[in-house]
Amino acid sequence: MRSFIFQYITMKGKRLTREFFNRPTLKIARELLGKFLIRKIRRKIITAMITETEAYCGSNDLASHASRGRTPRTEVMFGPPGYAYVYLVYGMYHCLNVVAEKENYPAAVLIRGVIIVQNLKCKIQNPNPKFKNLQLLTPYHKLFTNLNGPGKLCRYFQIDRRLNKEDLIISKNLWLEDRGVKVKPNHIRSSSRIGVDYAGPYKNKPWRFFLDI
DNA sequence: GATAAGATCATCT
DNA sequence: GATGATCTTATCA
């Protein structure tokens, strides 16, 4: 068991730039761990630290929607980096991706899990290492809520296709920030991606990354 | 603990 | 007409 988190979050985050996303997708997927996803819905702000991602890399990646070529749905993946790719899966859940790499190279990082951190004045820590999954239900755990799974995440963040093609570099509704959390390499785990058994030689690529907390 | 089935629809063939 | 970058609930063992 690791004790990942005992770290201060800076109050004022630095927004991630276009350049951040104009880099190799696997690198971005790793580095998004510990970064913050922020959603503004009218006056309400939801702040969360990213704990799980998946990389979808280029036209050759048979797990990626872009492997079937350019379609109205996947078009945004072929565009410039830093935009949101939001789509509906299984008829009932939305998934949030951030477009990566240079224009005309279709790639994206799927945001799969976060920890909600509403009160940014606190320091975050793993309140009870016995709960690997941080299912935080007791008052002691009030400050943290683990949100695992891209579908649940989007439901909580009220993200649907209206946010497809949103420019996350300048958007006032949804964006990403660096708040100074330093993630050590030995806190990052990887595995094959979820739900892509059909992807042939790509189904076992270790392109899912998550924080071991 | 593991596995199976059902919900439900945009997208692509 | 078939298929999922999912999640929840039910039914086993």
Q: Which nucleotide is nearest to A91 (CA to C1')?
A: B9
User: CA of A104 vs C1' of B8, distance in Å?
Assistant: 33
Separation of CA A121 and C1' C5 in angstroms?
34
What is the model's pLDDT at position A7? 52
Q: Which residues touch A121 (CB under 8 Å, ≥6 apart)?
A: A11
pLDDT of A75 above 50:
yes
Give per-residue pLDDT as tens, A40-73. Answer: 998 888 888 999 999 999 999 999 999 989 999 9
Q: Which nucleotide is nearest to A61 (CA to C1')?
A: C5
How far in angstroms lies nucleotide C3's C1' from the CA of residue A95? 17
- Region A15-23 average pLDDT: 97
Whole-number distance in Å between A149 CA and C7 C1': 8
Tens of pLDDT, residues A97-130 = 999 999 999 999 999 999 887 644 444 444 444 4
Residue A79 in contact with residue A99, Cβ under 8 Å? Answer: yes
DSSP string, chain A: -----EEPPPSS-EEPPHHHHSS-HHHHHHHTTT-EEEEEETTEEEEEEEEEEEEEETTT-TTSGGGG---TTTHHHHS-TTBEEEEEETTTEEEEEEE-SSTTS-EEEEEEEEEEE--TTSPEE-S-TT-TT----SGGGTTEEEEESHHHHHHHHT--GGGTT-BTTT-SSEEEEE-SPPPPGGGEEEEPPTT-TTSGGGTT---EEEE--
- Average pLDDT value for residue range A187-192: 90
Note whether A119 and A63 are within 8 A (CB).
no
Which nucleotide minimizes the distance between its C1' and the CA of A72? B11
CA distance A82 to A65: 18
Model pTM? 0.86
Cβ within 7 Å of strand C: which of A 64-103? 64-66, 77, 85, 88-93, 95, 97
Cα A71 to chain centroid distance, Å, stands at 24
Nearest nt (C1') from A147 Cα: C7
Q: How many CB atoms lie within 10 A of CB A41?
A: 12
d(CA A192, CA A207): 6
Please give the protein residue whose CA is closest to the C1' of the nucleotide C6.
A151
Q: Nearest nucleotide, C1' to the C-alpha of A69?
A: B12
Residue type, A38: I
State, as a whole number of angstroms, the distance between the CA of A20 and the C1' of B4.
Answer: 42
Distance CA A91, CA A76 (A): 20
Q: Strand B within 7 Å of which CB atoms in A 53-82?
A: 65, 68, 71-74
